[in-house]
Chains A and B, each alone.
Chain A
Amino acid sequence: MVPSSSLFGSSGIRGLVNEFVTGPLAIRIGLAVAQLFRKKHSKPCITVGHDHRTTGPMLTSALISGLLTGGSQVQIAGMAPTPAIAYVGGKQGANAAIIVTASHNPPEYNGFKFHNPDGAGFSAEQQAKIENLIDSSGPVSWEHFGSTSSIEPIPAYIEAIENACTITQSHRIVLDAALGAGGLVTPLLLDKLEAKVTAIGVPPSGKNYAQNIPQSKIQSAAAAEWQHFVNLDKLSALVQTKNAEVGFAHDGDADRILAVDDKGRILAGDTLLALVADYYLATKGGKVIATTVSSSSVVDYVAKKHDASVVRCRVGDVFVSNLVKEHKAVLGAEPSGPFIFPEVHYCPDGPLAACKVLELLDWAKRPLSALVNELPEMHLLRASVKCPNDVKPDVMEYVANILDGWSEVEEVSQLDGVRASFSDTSWILIRPSGTEPVIRITVEAQSARRAKELLRKAERATQQRIP
């Protein structure tokens, strides 16, 4: 069982700045992390960096202060994408990397992501330890306060990614870095790989955040959270006018990627996952793909083609990277956009994913739209049902029993909420939200009618138990 946590969400610690995420909290986190690593290393070393948010430097400074007070050395990485900070910190001998970022959240949010030297996010056990230490960690004696040094993660990271990719063609690309830290890396990286890049959403800017982002008309449920910080219409239109082969977007700290095909269609995260999985299983010789309970069965379809299997875990990149390690998976990914390529590191890596999509295009020798069209069409629907937090456990237990009793259900999994798979490859996922008083329902089927029918049934089953 994963211990319950009031600090950590599915991706580090996150919240409203100066309300939950404050300078004094950052100091305490620094003290706690220093104490955690002091148990093993007399002089631990932590790499610290941040994304483009206006509150990044303030929180980073406070975090560094806490780490130094706790006796840790600090490598200051400055502004850079999460994967770059995690990768270079690990290679330069740091015991961990902390990135001040709230990923795709609105600008009034910020938070902290924690990565081990191999790139993997802190495990549930490490998170629980920090949680325990947060109110009890003290300073070291004055002789042992830490000191700082500066590192420049971007050149070393770009070089590493360049070396990890083999791209033979020159590709036409549109990139929207969403004014985030990815803008410091991906345009340079793609340029080195001989691509012709049209970049928007550069350079990074915390103040102009979310500027020019209109209400989008994106239907794809999987891309829904992206439209809050990327102008998907603009990206789609630009791909077409520039005659580009592919369009990419990053989130604020560039650990995620979204792709647009050559026809300007926004690809659901599941679709991109299926395509990259297909390429990896065909060329890298692995037999396992790791993903979460929320991803589409189109991934299973691709895996079956290669006689490979799909393993699933609860939502959150930390769990995916653990699953990748555990099953020696060739690839780990979530439909929301994080991709983990274990041959490089276990950190979700947006710039690396962009390069891997180019590799895939080289290999497939067909336009991205053609590859998309070859996948079976799946219909994915999402809905939320209001539910007070205190009755969530009861409702979930009830739902699990109901679904288990349905005759057409093949398997029920309770890794994260309740996921029921049906014999016709359709599935239902019912999950309590960790942050809001709602229960989220996701269904997927091969026809729109079947998807609607399943969604109706799932909603009814959930609502029955809510007072």
Chain B
Amino acid sequence: MEGEWRPRFGSSGIRGRVAEELAPNDAWFLGNSIATVFKKGSILLCSDHRTSSPLLVHSLASGLMVGGALVIQGGQVITPAVSFYVRNHQLSAAVLVTGSHNSPQINGLEVLAGDGAPVDRTIEQRIEELALNPPNPLPWDQQGETTSIDGVGQFWVDKVTRIMNTALIQKQNFRVAVDVCNGSAIPWLLDLFQGFGCQYIGINTEQTPHFSGRSPNLTVDLLGDISQTVQEQKCDLGIAVDGDGDRVFLVDERGQVLPGDVSGTIFARLELERRGGGKIVTPINTSNVVYDMAKEFKGEIVSSRIGPPAIVAKIKAHQAIFGFEESGKAIYPHINYLSDSGLASGYILEYLAQNDLSLSALVDELPEYHQVKQSLDCPDSMKGSVMKHLIKAFKVDFPSAEFVTVDGIKMIFDDGWLLLRPSGTEPKFKVFSESHYEPRAQELFQIGLTYLHEALSRYSKMKNMSGD
């Protein structure tokens, strides 16, 4: 059993198919390491509503206790409430069991430091190392204990409501369609809209662990229902979140679903206006639309690797005022180091109320970009070789492009860009392209796809040969 594969941190915590890639035993050892890393402190433990969440919560709690932690069980709650709670309560850390936007058989865990930010790479490595080589068990009288608290979600609802100018929002009598994705945002996000004084129309409001309404992911294609509701019910806007309620997409009053880059760029613009300029962190796969916007609102864009730990590390290093990802993550570091759909919703409502604007007016001010995205299957073990091959091939074949290799390989041309990148959470390789001109976006995408196919077939052949 020695040296066996164990779950490792990807770009956003540890993820895997439960009981196969992420078994209760793994969670137990991880719990023990986390308690050891945080020196037996008080650790908040919360989860989403997946079928596998209770079993992971219990094995984690057990491991945390054997490592001497006081485990504070906060139950099932919307993700941003967890980081918000830990930041405001002098706790040592939080462990969050969530499969986020992944399919229902997947689950995962995110480890947050006392300020609610995802732990950095050094701590991730220390946790992994201790899970493989556990410390000597503590004696019987130094075992941790467990206690339950209510109100992690309510605390978030109350505080986020108070941050916003609800009197102003209320006056506008907004009609908002809210798609809570049958997920763990229920009921907190809906309560929050009630707190804002909005009239809301809920979509997918029954909590179901298999996500009966739609996939827990957020993409434009998946959000047909809310688009239709916004149009039919004459809503002022729509808000859609992923399975655990941290990611957020906007729908304008015409029913147009805004891609994550566009939603994120609008959130970023609001922050720049509110704060009179500042730095915005966003990963290398974000659309150029954010650069265009930033020029106008005294913003400076700081590029990062993909995933909240990388984004937050850059935010802290550059004292940025906002961070976002095209996946729908919106991070307001002055309040919460995890993506917060509630804050994003509150700020957009407040802005529209203050300026008496429609959301589409903000959208229409942005230049138009066309993007093409697709993922291909690629085993984790092949990602490294495929990556090396692609860099080599592109540098030979496209000598005039500008190359960025902080996360995957991004080739920037005068009229668009192409990004190929191994997924940090799944056995997949992703292709993104973007251009003002749609045929050019398609062309760049086809180039990426062709090179990726070639690399994949080459290395899977080699793997098959060496496998015998």
Contact = CB atoms under 8 A, between A and B. Distances in A.
A66 interface: yes
Contacts of B141: 54, 107, 206-207
Contact of B62 (A53, A59, A138, A148): A59
Given A27-B28, A62-B28, A142-B105, A54 B55 contact: no
Contacts of A198: none
A54 B54 contact: no
Contacts of A298: none
Contacts of A247: none
Contacts of B145: 57
A145 interface: yes
Chain A CB count within 10 A is highest, among B24, B25, B28, for B24
Contact of A65 (B20, B58, B140): B58
A146 B23 CA distance: 14
B31 to A, nearest CB: 9
A147 interface: yes
Contacts of A138: 19
Contacts of A26: 62
A53 B140 CA distance: 9
A142 B18 contact: yes
A23 B64 CA distance: 11
Contacts of B28: 23-24, 27, 62, 65
B24 to A, nearest CB: 4
Interface residues of B, number: 34
B144 interface: yes
B125 to A, nearest CB: 23
Contacts of A69: 19, 23-24, 55
B143 A65 contact: no
A148 B146 CA distance: 16
B137 A64 contact: no
B62 A23 contact: yes
Nearest to A31: B24
Contacts of A27: 24-25, 28, 59
B352 to A, nearest CB: 41
B56 interface: yes
Interface in A43-58: 53-55, 57-58
B104 A54 contact: no
B62 A61 contact: yes
A108 interface: yes
B328 interface: no
Interface string B25-40: 1011000100000000
B153 interface: no
A17 interface: yes
Interface residues of A, number: 34
Contacts of B63: 23, 62
A27 B25 CA distance: 7
B18 A65 contact: no
A5 interface: no
A27 B138 CA distance: 19
B66 A148 contact: no
A146 B54 contact: yes
B62 A62 contact: yes
Nearest to A76: B58
Contacts of B304: none
B455 interface: no
Contacts of B104: 142
Contacts of A146: 54-55
B143 A68 contact: no
A400 B188 CA distance: 72
Interface in B34-58: 51-52, 54-56, 58
Nearest to A66: B24
B51 A58 contact: no
A64 B58 contact: yes
A226 to B, nearest CB: 21
A464 to B, nearest CB: 42
A61 B65 contact: yes
23 contacts: A17-B137, A18-B137, A23-B28, A24-B28, A53-B140, A54-B141, A55-B140, A57-B61, A57-B65, A62-B62, A62-B63, A65-B28, A68-B55, A68-B58, A69-B23, A69-B55, A139-B18, A142-B104, A143-B51, A143-B210, A145-B18, A145-B51, A145-B55
Given A58-B143, A107-B140, 9 more contacts: A18-B137, A62-B59, A69-B55, A108-B139, A141-B105, A142-B52, A145-B18, A146-B55, A148-B58
